[in-house]
């Protein structure tokens, strides 16, 4: 899933930031959910962790600190598990 914007290709992970910067958080959440679904279908653990981080960023922009912390902890936990598996 790619979108061409101003002659630049944006991944779903980058696209949410572009949408959220325009304060269209509902659309940003939809895009992150789509990206998360793709990552889960491909068992892409890193992409899932990034998606949780994206949800945290959106929640933070909406002043929802509780949700931001929850999503950030999910992201960090998964990233730590990934690094443990690869021996980093």
**Model pTM above 0.85:** no
pLDDT per position as a tens digit, 21-77:
667 888 888 888 988 998 999 999 998 998 999 899 899 989 999 999 999 999 999
The per-residue pLDDT for 18 is: 63
Q: Give the Cα separation of 47 and 57 in Å (integer).
A: 15
Helices (H) and strands (E) counted in the chain, each on its own, are 4, 2
Question: Does 1.25.40.10 match the CATH number of domain 11-81?
Answer: yes
Per-residue pLDDT of 18-33, as tens digits, reads: 666 667 888 888 888 9
């Amino acid at each position: 899933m790619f979108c061409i914007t101003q002659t630049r290709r944006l991944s779903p992970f980058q696209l949410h930031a572009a949408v959220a910067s325009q304060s269209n958080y509902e659309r940003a959440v939809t895009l992150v959910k789509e990206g998360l679904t793709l990552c889960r279908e491909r068992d892409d653990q890193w992409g899932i962790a990034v998606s949780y981080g994206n949800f945290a960023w959106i929640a933070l922009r909406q002043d929802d600190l509780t949700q931001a912390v929850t999503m950030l902890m999910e992201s960090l936990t998964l990233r730590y598990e990934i690094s443990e598996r690869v021996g980093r």
